[in-house]
Structure 1
C-alpha cells in the first residue's frame, strides 16, 4: 500500500483494520493466507510469493512498466499490484512474441544476465530472402556496429527464404535486428 508506520498505527487505533471480522489494534498481529484482512471495510488481496506471467506481446506495446508516450505491456495484466511486475527481457515495439513478467528480480536476472547464457529463440520474418552463408556467419559470431567483440555463436534455422529461427544466448540492444544488418 506504500504507507508509513505512523499512519498504519493510527488506522489500527481507529479500528479500520479487521482480520476475519475481528478488529485489530496492533501491527504485530500475525496473519495466515487463509485469513481475510479488510481495511475500512474493503477486503485486501494477499500476494503470496513471487508471481510469473507469460504474455504474447502484440506489436505497438513496449516492454516497460511506465512509458509516457507508448502503451506498455502491463495494460494486459489484470492483477493486483501489476505495477510491481517487470519484463524479464525486452521485445521492441514493432515485435511480437513471448514476454515473461515477474516480481522476482533474482529469477529475471538469472534468465537475462549474459553470464548465465540462457538461450532465447526468435522467429524472424525478413524483407529479403536470406543469403546462404548467413547461418555459417552466425555460427561463428558477427561483428555488430559499435561493438568490440563478436556476438556469441548463434544457431540459425531457415524455415522459408524469408522466415528463419534464430537462437542466441546474449541479449544485446536490438541484437537480432543488428545481426541481420551486419551478417545477413
Structure 2
C-alpha cells in the first residue's frame, strides 16, 4: 500500500494533507524518515507520524445499486459519480468510508444500472477483474429485436467482436421473453455486452447487472450497503455460480 494511502486509512487526513506531512519529514517507517508519498508500506512495517504509531483501519467492501446516468468514478463528470448519487459523499459517510480511496471493481457504462462493488482493497478487487479468475457476471438484457435461436447458439459458443482477433468466451444465455435475456459472461471487455449483440445484428436497449460471482443485488436503486463476510470471502473462492 502507498504510504499516503496508509496515512489516510489511519487518520482523518485527506490524500493532499498526508502528502504534505510526508514531504515535511513528519512520517517515519521503521524509524526511518520517508519523504516519498508512493513508498510502499507492508503489513509488518511500523509507521509513525509525529511519533504516534499509526494503525490502518480494516478495508471497506460495499454493494451499490447503480442508477442510470451515473459514472463509476470517484468524481462527478458529465454525469454524477455513483458515489455521489447514492449519498456516499455526505459528510458522515465520506469521513467513515474514505470514499476518495475507494474504487469500483468492474465498472458499468453510464446508462447501465445494477450491481456495483466498491472497495479500497486492491488485492480483493483483483480477484473480480482479472481474466483468469473467470468471475461470472449476470446481466438482464433488453433487446430492440427478437433474438433467434441461431443468435443464442452463437453467443453460447463465442462470437467475434469488431476489432477483436479472438472469439468471446462461451457465455450462458437464458431466454426470458422474445426481446429479453439473462446473459452470464466471465470477461469484461470494453462495452462487451452491447458489442456482443451488435455482432449478431441486434441492439441493447437496456442493460442491468444483477449478480457478480455469488453476490446478488438485493437493494433498491440508489441504495448501498456493506458486504457481509460471506460475500467478501466468496471472491477468494471459486467464482462459479
TM superposition score category, shorter chain reference: 0.7 to 0.9
State the Cα distance separating 1:65 from its structure 2 match: 1.6
Alignment partners' CA distance in 2, 1:174 and 1:99: 16
State the Cα distance separating 1:50 from its structure 2 match: 0.7
Alignment partners' CA distance in 1, 2:54 and 2:174: 53
Deviations 1:61-80 (A, max 9, x none): 01112343221111022332
Q: Which sections of structure 2, spanning at least 5 residues, go unmatched?
A: 1-12, 28-48, 203-241
Q: Give matches, 1:21-40, under 5 Å.
A: 27-30=50-53
Structural RMSD (CA): 2.0
Q: 1:62 aligns with which of 47, 71, 76?
A: 71
Name the SS of the counterpart of 1:133 in structure 2.
Answer: helix
Q: Which sections of structure 1, spanning at least 5 residues, go unmatched?
A: 10-25, 33-46
Q: By percentage of residues, which structure has more helix?
A: 2
Question: Is the contact between residue 71 and residue 77 of structure 2 (CA under 8 Å) also seen in structure 1?
Answer: no
Deviations 1:40-97 (A, max 9, x none): xxxxxxx621101101101100111234322111102233221111100111111100
State the Cα distance separating 1:130 from its structure 2 match: 1.2
Alignment partners' CA distance in 2, 1:110 and 1:182: 29
Larger radius of gyration: 1
Question: Is the contact between residue 74 and residue 83 of structure 1 (CA under 8 Å) also seen in structure 2?
Answer: no
Alignment partners' CA distance in 1, 2:194 and 2:165: 18
Q: Give matches, 1:1-150, under 5 Å.
A: 1=13, 2=18, 3-5=20-22, 6=24, 27-30=50-53, 48-75=57-84, 76=86, 77=88, 78-80=93-95, 81-150=98-167
The TM-score, its normalising length taken from structure 2, stands at: 0.59
Alignment partners' CA distance in 1, 2:117 and 2:168: 24
Structure with bigger RCO (C-alpha 8 Å, 6+ apart): 2
The TM-score, its normalising length taken from structure 1, stands at: 0.77
Deviations 1:112-140 (A, max 9, x none): 11121111110111122111222211121
Alignment partners' CA distance in 2, 1:62 and 1:166: 22
Q: What's the counterpart of residue 42 of structure 1?
A: none
Alignment partners' CA distance in 2, 1:135 and 1:68: 36
Question: Is the contact between residue 73 and residue 103 of structure 2 (CA under 8 Å) also seen in structure 1?
Answer: yes
